Chain A
Amino acid sequence: MFGDYSLADLSSIFVMQGFAGLILFSVYVLMALGLAIIFGQMGVINMAHGEFMILGAYVTYLCSSFFQAHLPSLFGAYFFIAMALAFLASGAMGMLVEWALIRHLYKRPLDTLLATWGLSLILQQAYRTIFGPREVGVELPSWMMGSIPVTDSIEVQINGLFVIAVTTVITLGVALLIYRSRFGAQIRAVMSNRPMAGAVGIDTEKVDRYTFGLGCGIAGIAGSAFTMIGSTGPTSGQLYIVDTFLIVVFGGAASLLGTIASAFSISQTQSTLEFFLSGSMAKVLTLLAVVAILMLRPQGLFTLKVRR
Chain B
Amino acid sequence: MLQTSLSPSSLVPPVVPGTAPMLAISDLHAAYGQSEVLHGIDLDVAPGEIVAVMGRNGMGKSTLMKTLMGIVPTKSGTITVDGTDVTALKSHARVAKGLAYVPQGRMIFSTMTVQENIETGLTVTGSRKVPQDLYTMFPVLLEMKGRRGGNLSGGQQQQLAIARALASNPKVLLLDEPTEGIQPSIIREMGRTLKKIRDERGLSIVVSEQVLSFAMDVADRVLVIENGSIVHESLRADIDEAQVARFLSV
Interface residues, chain A, CB within 8 Å of chain B? Answer: 182, 185-186, 188-189, 192-193, 195-205, 254, 304, 306-308
Known A188-B109, A188-B112, A308-B110: A197·B90 in contact at CB below 8 Å: no
Known A189-B112, A306-B151: A199·B103 in contact at CB below 8 Å: yes
Distance in Å from the Cβ of B127 to the closest Cβ of chain A? 11
Q: A196: which of B103, B119, B124 is its contact (CB, 8 Å)? A: B103
- In contact, A202 and B110 (Cβ under 8 angstroms): no
Q: B123: which of A188, A201, A308 is its contact (CB, 8 Å)? A: A201
A185 to B115, CA, bound (A): 11
Q: Does B69 contact A (CB under 8 A)?
A: yes
Known A200-B95, A204-B92: A182·B109 in contact at CB below 8 Å: no
- In contact, B165 and A200 (Cβ under 8 angstroms): yes
Measured between beta carbons, the chain A residues less than 8 angstroms from B124 are: 201
A201 to B150, CA, bound (A): 20
Which residue of chain A has the shortest Cβ distance to B69 in the bound complex? A199
A185 to B96, CA, bound (A): 18
**How many inter-chain contacts with C-beta < 8 Å in the A-B complex?**
83
5 tightest A-B CB contacts, nearest first: A198-B91, A201-B95, A201-B124, A306-B150, A192-B109
Q: B151: which of A192, A195, A307 is its contact (CB, 8 Å)? A: A307
Distance in Å from the Cβ of B198 to the closest Cβ of chain A? 20
Known A182-B128, A185-B120: A199·B112 in contact at CB below 8 Å: no
- In contact, B101 and A186 (Cβ under 8 angstroms): no
- In contact, A196 and B112 (Cβ under 8 angstroms): no
Distance in Å from the Cβ of A284 to the closest Cβ of chain B? 36
Q: Does B121 contact A (CB under 8 A)?
A: yes
A186 to B121, CA, bound (A): 10
Q: Does B48 contact A (CB under 8 A)?
A: no
Measured between beta carbons, the chain A residues less than 8 angstroms from B29 are: none
Measured between beta carbons, the chain B residues less than 8 angstroms from A200 are: 95, 100-101, 120-121, 123, 164-165, 168
Which residue of chain A has the shortest Cβ distance to B149 in the bound complex? A306
Q: Does B148 contact A (CB under 8 A)?
A: yes
Q: A203-B93, A306-B110 are in contact. List 8 more A-B contacts (CB 8 A).
A: A185-B116, A193-B109, A199-B70, A199-B92, A200-B121, A200-B164, A204-B91, A205-B90
A203 to B110, CA, bound (A): 20
Measured between beta carbons, the chain B residues less than 8 angstroms from A195 are: 71, 91
Q: Does B107 contact A (CB under 8 A)?
A: yes
Q: B120: which of A186, A205, A304, A306 is its contact (CB, 8 Å)? A: A186
Q: Does B3 contact A (CB under 8 A)?
A: no
A193 to B71, CA, bound (A): 12
A193 to B70, CA, bound (A): 15
Q: Does B57 contact A (CB under 8 A)?
A: no
